[in-house]
Amino acid sequence: QFKFVESGGGLVQSGGSLRLSCVASGFIAAYDIGWFRRAPGKNLEGVSCISSIDDHSTYYRDSVKGRFTISRDNDKNTAYLQIVDLKPEDTGVYYCGADTRHLYYRCDPSTYDHWGQGTLVIVSS
């Protein structure tokens, strides 16, 4: 069973940008991939998910639409989350997960697996 290794987090000022990456130790082409975050004191929530199907359809939670962009490179077994205009409420640990049930449009962490250790994003106001 493969795992992800997330990277790219850091401390940034409000309005700043980050590019998060997660590299899998196995092949991800058949999996929907999701980015999830755990904000301080809150449950894990789906931020953005991308389908494994050729059109690579995407889901974004309302609070990140227009600021977050998910992408994937199956040849590199890597997924990315480009974030612009960061807000303090984006603070949290960001994780990658993979799912074979093709439910990317729900972006529900309960259906994902292969979690990594996460990467911490802190946005200062």
Per-residue burial over 86-109, b if 16 or more Cβ lie within 10 Å, else e, is beeebbbbbbbbbbeeebbeebbb
What does the pLDDT look like over 12-29, one tens digit per residue? 999 999 999 999 999 999
Name 25's Cβ contacts closer than 8 Å, sequence gap at least 6.
2, 3, 4, 5, 77
In contact, 48 and 36? CB cutoff 8 Å: no
d(CA 82, CA 8): 10
For 78-120, what is each residue's pLDDT tens digit?
Answer: 999 999 999 999 999 999 999 989 899 999 999 999 999 999 9
The structure tokens listed for 59 are 């889901």
- Residue 1's pLDDT is 86
Residue-level length of the chain:
125
Q: Order across the sheet with 18-24: list the strands.
A: 4-7, 18-24, 78-83, 68-73
Per-residue pLDDT at 54:
74
**What does the pLDDT look like over 30-83, one tens digit per residue?**
999 999 999 999 999 999 999 998 778 999 999 999 999 999 999 999 999 999
